[in-house]
Amino acid sequence: MTKSTITIDVLLDEKRVPDQILWHATESTADSEKKARAVMLSLWDGNEKTALRVDLWTKEMMVDEMGDFFYQTFMTMADTLDRATHQHELVDDIKKFAAEFYKKFRQSEQQQHKH
C-alpha cells in the first residue's frame, strides 16, 4: 500500500486569525509549499455518520474571491457526486443551483459597488 500525505499549515496572527495557509502534498509535482487564501476541508465519519469540517480563510481573501471559491466548490462537489453515484439529475440540480448562486452573488457585488 502506498501512502500519500497532504499537509496544511496555518500561520496565525496575534489574534489567532489565519495570516497564511500553506499546503503540500507528497504526490504533487510542486517542489515546495503552495499558498492558499482559503481552505474547506470535509471529512466523513462513517461511524458517527457526520461530516467534520474545517473552514479557514486568510485576511487576504477578497469577497469576490469567496464567491468564486464557493461556485467552483459547488461545481466540483457536483462532479464528485456524479462520479460516485451517477445521479445525473441531482448533479444537474447542484450545477443549476451553483450557476444561480454565482449570478446572484455577482449581482449583489455590483449593487454594493454602486453605493
Q: Are 95 and 78 in contact (CB under 8 A)?
A: yes
Give the C-alpha separation, 76 to 45, whole Å: 21
Reported as a single tens digit per residue, the pLDDT across 42-95 is: 999 999 999 999 999 999 999 999 999 999 999 999 999 999 999 999 999 999
pTM: 0.87
Helix (H, G, I), strand (E, B) or coil at 38: strand
Q: Residues with Cβ < 8 Å from 31, sequence gap 6 or more?
A: none
Q: How many residues does the chain have?
A: 115
pLDDT at 85: 98
